[in-house]
Structure formats: C-alpha cells, structure tokens
Structure 1
Amino acid sequence: MSFLTLFLLLLFPLTAISSIHDLLQSQGLPAGLFPESVKTYSLDQSGRLEVHLEQPCLAKFETRVYFDSVVRANLSFGGLKGLEGLSQEELFLWLPVKDIIVNDPSSGLILFDIGVAHKQLSLSLFEDPPVCKSQGMVLKKDGRNKNKMDFQVQR
C-alpha cells in the first residue's frame, strides 16, 4: 500500500466512508465503477478490496460488462489492479478486466487493461453507478465444476 493510500485511510477511516462509491472517489477513481447493487465491501490494511454484489449482473458503460457476485482488486490511489470477477465484452468475446487506472484525472480518461489490449474510455462514463441487471444471464457449472457464463441473446 502506498504512503498516500495509508494516509488517506487514516485521514478518512472506512467508518466515515459510507459507500464503495465514496471510497473510490477518495482514491482518485470515479464513483461509478461499481453498480448500485453493491451489498458490502471490505478493504484490508494491504489495500486488498473485496466488493460483494447482490448477485452476478450485467451493466453497460461503453460496452457491456459482467460483474461476478464478488469482485476483488488491489486498491491504490488512481487504480484497481489485479481485478478478479469483472469481464468486458469486446467483439462478442468476454475478456477479463485486469486493471483499471486513472493516471491523470485532468485528462478525462480512464484505462481498462483487458490483457490483450488497453482501452481508454471517457471518465464521464463512470460518474454514476450503473444499473446492473441479471436478466439474460445464466451461470452454469461446466464439467470441471467451474462457473461458466452463458448469455442468452438480448441486445
């Protein structure tokens, strides 16, 4: 955890930060990165963030995104790194989002690292928490007992 993150957490303890959206803003990130359906979240001393949603769901920023019921990441000022539980649709493929970074808030851009590419989006897309819908999405167990996303056609 960076000194700045630790300083901000001491200055604004989690008890004073009422929502995940407030926490994100205190860390230089837009409030609307997580949907309004967040039930709880926790942040440990090392900066490991765990966000629990009511259920897995789909939302839309510029493209569709899938939130698992639990999303984890390392939170530092201006970034969510090592994300787990968040995927983005690109050309009919669902790719895991690895990092979300705001290098320079004055640029108006946010960077999504989806492994095979880096995608820059307008920060204005993330001002408000998105509405997340479970409609049209089914999670199935595959033969190896792992969850697999299966989407019904609904565009």
Structure 2
Amino acid sequence: MAKRSTVSIPILGFLLLITSLLPISHCDSIHDLLKRNGLPPGLLPKIVRSFNLDENGLLEVNLYGPCLAKYENRVHFESVIRGNLSYGELTGLVGLSQEELFLWLPVKDIIVDDPSSGLILFDVGVVHKQFSLSLFDDPPNCKPDEEQSGLSFRSGGFEKGKGVEAL
C-alpha cells in the first residue's frame, strides 16, 4: 500500500501543475477575473452572459444585449466588449463608451497604475478621466439600451418589448 501512495503523489502533483497552466475556465466569474488582474470587479455589469480569455490576453465579454449603467457618468456597453487584459490594464477596448457633456466617447483603455492611489484612469481619446476606484467596487445594474436592441430586462436576461425607466 505504501508503494501505491508514493506513485500517486507524483501523478497528483503533475495533474495539479497541468490544471494550473490551463486557461481560465468559464466557471470563474468575470468579476473575479478582473479582481485577480488588479482591476475592480465593477468595471462590467452584473448581466454578463459569458466571457473568454485567450492565451494572448484577449478578453471577450458577451452581455445579454446592449445596456446603460451609471457610475459618475453614464456608460454604454455593447453586446460584446473586447480588450486586451493584463495586470492593472484593459487596453484596446471595443464596445464601451462613456457620456461626456452630451457626447458619447469610446473608452479605449482602462488603467489602474497604482491601486494605493485609489484612482482609475479611463482613456476616452481626447481626454483622460480619473475616477475613484470605489465607484467600481460592485458590478452595476445595467438597463437595456432599447434604442439599440428593443430589449428589456427579465430576471438574469432580456425580454422583447418591455419598457424600462431611464437612468
């Protein structure tokens, strides 16, 4: 019996090593993934349908439909958001825009240089906006963007033809 346990320990160690090298599984929450990468979990809304992180760091997040959330300003999420995820950064973003003085500007990069500063930087092209990290502690509720989708919320997803109050 002692021989069996000595043989199984190296095999178990090998299996644990292999599983630690595998890409992030879909059972992890996107919000946990953001947190593990030095970003606040509330950067993305609660209604994430699925996400994928490839071996090159390309993150693709699928929502149930386009929606609007409110932080300090209103933010518009497309149905699919893509960007390159590295520690403290989500760069080359597509599918995310922020309202600034009645204009919708695409958010290109989100960066947390120094978590101890309590600040997060949003690069919206013409301007770099700094916000308090605490604004993004919790994933926001996201109202469907009816102008783009004709959809509205149902528990955990969207439903055709129902109205929603404005943000």
Normalised by the size of structure 1, how large is the TM-score?
Answer: 0.80
Larger Rg belongs to: 2
The 1:23–1:17 alpha-carbon spacing in structure 2 relative to 1, beyond 3 Å, is farther
The structure 1 residue matched to 2:67, chosen from 49, 57, 65, is 57
Root-mean-square deviation (CA, aligned residues, Å) is 2.2
1:118 matches 2:128: yes
Structure 1 residue runs without a partner (length 5+) = 1-9, 141-153
Q: SS of the residue aligned with 1:21?
A: helix
1:67 matches 2:67: no
Q: SS of the residue aligned with 2:147?
A: strand
The structure 2 residue matched to 1:94, chosen from 101, 104, 109, is 104
1:15 positional shift: 3.0
Q: SS of the residue aligned with 2:46?
A: coil
Q: How many residues align structurally?
A: 134
Higher helix share: 2
The equivalent residue for 2:148 is 139
1:29 matches 2:4: no
The structure 1 residue matched to 2:28, chosen from 18, 22, 31, is 18
- Separation (CA, whole Å) in 1 of partners of 2:48 and 2:133: 20
After TM superposition, which residue ranges in structure 1, 4 or more long, deviate above 4 angstroms? 10-13
The 1:94–1:16 alpha-carbon spacing in structure 2 relative to 1, beyond 3 Å, is closer
- Separation (CA, whole Å) in 2 of partners of 1:87 and 1:15: 28
Given that residues 17 and 23 in structure 1 are in contact (C-alpha distance below 8 angstroms), is that contact kept between their aligned partners in structure 2?
A: no
- Separation (CA, whole Å) in 2 of partners of 1:23 and 1:13: 12
Normalised by the size of structure 2, how large is the TM-score?
Answer: 0.75
Q: SS of the residue aligned with 2:142?
A: coil
Percent of pairs identical after alignment? 64
1:18 positional shift: 1.5
| Amino acid corresponding to residue 61 of structure 2 in structure 1 | V
Q: SS of the residue aligned with 1:29?
A: coil
1:139 positional shift: 1.9
- Separation (CA, whole Å) in 2 of partners of 1:121 and 1:66: 17
Structure 2 residue runs without a partner (length 5+) = 1-19, 150-165
| Amino acid corresponding to residue 147 of structure 2 in structure 1 | V
1:11 positional shift: 6.6
